[in-house]
Amino acid sequence: MTTKMGNMGATSPRAPRKSAVSVKWARRLEVGREVLRNPLTVIGLSIIFLFLLMAIFAPLLAEPNQPDPYQSP
C-alpha cells in the first residue's frame, strides 16, 4: 500500500514578507519610543539640544568684535 504525499507544504498560508527597509524603520521607531519613555533621557536630550541651539546661534547673540575693556589704550 503506497500513498503519494504530494506537495503538502505548498498550500500552507504565508504572511506577507516585510521589506528590510520597513523592518529597519519599525525597529528604529521602537527604540525611539523606548528611549523617550525614560524621563531622565528626555531631560538629558533636552539639555544637549539646548546647548546645540546655543552653539548654532551664538554668533547672533553675542557681538564678536567688542573691544576688550581691560586692554590699555
Is residue 3 one of the residues assigned to a domain?
no
What is the separation of C-alpha 5 from the centre of its chain, rounded to a whole number of angstroms? 50
Q: Which residue has the higher pLDDT, 15 or 31?
A: 31
Average pLDDT over residues 59-69: 78
Tell me the C-alpha distance between 73 and 66, whole Å.
14
Count of structural domains within the chain: 1
In a domain, 72, yes or no: no
pTM beyond 0.75: no
User: Higher confidence at residue 49 or residue 12?
Assistant: 49
Q: Is residue 45 assigned to a domain?
A: yes
User: How distant, in Å, are the alpha carbons of 44, 47, 50 from that of 55?
Assistant: 17, 12, 9
- What's the count of helices (H) and strands (E) in the chain, helices before strands? 2, 0
Domain membership of residue 13 (yes or no) is no
Host domain of residue 33 = 21-59
Higher-scoring residue by pLDDT: 27, 72: 27
